[in-house]
Structure 1
Amino acid sequence: MADKIRTAKEGRIPTTLEGIKQFYDDWAPTYEKDLAHEGYIAPRRAAEAMAKFLTNKDAEIMDIACGTGLVAQELTQQGFKHIDGVDISSESLKICKVSGLYRRLICDSIGTNKLDINDDTYDGLIICGALGHLSLECFPQLIRIVKPGGPIIFSVDGNSMDTFDHFKDGKFEAALQELVRNGLWIKESYELIPDWVFNRPGHQYVYKVV
C-alpha cells in the first residue's frame, strides 16, 4: 500500500491512539509485503540479539507492539517457542493469530496503563520499531513484567529519531539513563544498524532488568 509506506517514510503517522490503531488496522493486510520490499531487517536483528542474551529456547518472550508478527517469525527461526504479543491494532492481531506463533495476544495500548500481565512474567522483551508511537513513560510498566536479569531489546529507526519530539535534544537518552539511576535496569549494549529500513540507519539498545 504505497500511501502507507509514503506516510511512514515522511513521519506522518497519526499520533493519537485511535489514529495509530486505524492506521495499522488499514495497513495490516499488506504490511509485511510492503516492509519486505523496503528491506526491513529490524525484526531479524532484534531476534538475533535476543538469542545472544537468552540461550534457553524455552524462555518466555513478550513482543510489544507486535504488529502482524514479524518479530515472532524471526524469534521462531532462532528456536524460541513461547512468545506472547501486545498491539493496539486488532486487525494486525488477527494475522498474528492465524500464524500460530503466539501463545497469547493482548489488544491494548502501551503506556503508563497497567497491562493485564503479572509482574516478573517474561524472561525477555522486544520492542521493534514502535517507540516513535509510544511515550517514554511506558518503560517502567515494561520493566515490571520482565524477570530480574531479563533483557529488554528495543530499536528506533532514523526517521523516528529525526521526527518525534521525545527523541530530540537528548530527551530519549536522558529518559533511559534516569531508569538506570533509579536502579530499574542497566545498559548492556548499543548498536547502530545501517539500512534498518527506508535506506536509513536504526539504533538498537539492550538493557537488562535489575
Structure 2
Amino acid sequence: MSSEEIWKSLVNNKTLDPDQVHTFYTQWAKSYDHDMEEITVIALSRLSDIIREHFPSNQRSEALVLDVAAGTGRLGPHLAGIGFKHMDAVDYSQPMLDVLEKLDLYNKKICAALGSGRKIPGIEDESYDVVTISGGFCQAHLPIDSLEEVVRVLKPGGYFFNAMTKYYLDSVDSLHGLEPLMRQMETDGKWLMRARLVQDHVIGGKQGLFHVFQKL
C-alpha cells in the first residue's frame, strides 16, 4: 500500500477500537515517519506557524511544552525550530515513543492513555505553558474528554494548540461533541478560545482545523 492508503486504512476505519489502534501503531512505528512525511508536513508547518503567532517569542526558550499523542515526535523539530527547548511527550504507544527518543528533543517520554478521568502519570497540576495535540483527534484515538486533562496540566495563562482534519468532526461519531465540549469548557470559565482556523489541502488533501485556547 502507498503511504496515503496506510494512513486512510487507519483513520477511516470505523470498526477499529482503541486496542486495535494501539496494535496498529506498535507494528507501524519503525516506518511511520517515512510513511507520514508527505501527508503531515503541511499541517505541522502550519501548526508551528500558529504557535509562533500566539506564544511570545521571548518566553519560548524557558517555556515547558507537553506534546500529547506525540507519536514519533514529528512536531518536535518544528517546535525546536521556533525556539522551544523544554518539551515532554505523552503517547499510548511505547514503540512510537522509542522512535521519538532518538530525536533527542524531548525530556520526559510518558507512555499513557488519556480520557475517562485518567491523569498523566507523574505530571502535576498546572505544569505546562503549552500543550499541543496534532492529529490526536480521529477515529479511535484520543477521546474528547482528554481536554479535561489538557486543562489540568496547563498553567493559568498557558496555551493549548490543536490540529486535526476538519472532516472528522462530522465523520467520526465520537468527535461530534468535540467542539461543543470546547465551547462548554469556555462557558465554564476554564479557558478562552483565541482562534479557530480552517485551511484547505492541509492533511491528506483535506481541510485542516486548528484551535487555540488560553487557560484562565
- Name the TM-score, length of structure 1 as normaliser: 0.91
Deviations 1:4-52 (A, max 9, x none): 224036x117643321211112121121221223353222222222222
8 Å CA contact retained: 1:50, 1:153 = yes
- 2:124 & 2:133 partners in 1: Cα distance? 18
Is 1:104 aligned to residue 108 of structure 2? yes
Change in Cα spacing, 1:119 to 1:39, as seen in structure 2 (3 Å) is closer
Mapping of residues 1-210 of structure 1, within 5 Å: 2=2, 4-8=6-10, 11-12=12-13, 15-38=16-39, 40-54=41-55, 55=57, 56-57=59-60, 58-111=62-115, 112-116=117-121, 117-132=123-138, 133-168=141-176, 171-210=177-216
Is there any run of 5+ residues in structure 2 with no aligned partner, and where? none
Change in Cα spacing, 1:18 to 1:188, as seen in structure 2 (3 Å) is same
State the number of aligned residues.
207
How far is the alpha carbon of 1:172 from its aligned partner?
Answer: 2.4
- Secondary structure at the residue paired with 1:103? strand
How far is the alpha carbon of 1:202 from its aligned partner?
Answer: 0.9
How far is the alpha carbon of 1:73 from its aligned partner?
Answer: 1.3
- 1:23 & 1:33 partners in 2: Cα distance? 16
How far is the alpha carbon of 1:187 from its aligned partner?
Answer: 0.5
- Name the TM-score, length of structure 2 as normaliser: 0.89
Residue type of the alignment partner of 1:140: E
How far is the alpha carbon of 1:141 from its aligned partner?
Answer: 1.2
Change in Cα spacing, 1:47 to 1:13, as seen in structure 2 (3 Å) is farther
How far is the alpha carbon of 1:69 from its aligned partner?
Answer: 0.6
Q: CA RMSD in A?
A: 1.7
Is there any run of 5+ residues in structure 1 with no aligned partner, and where? none
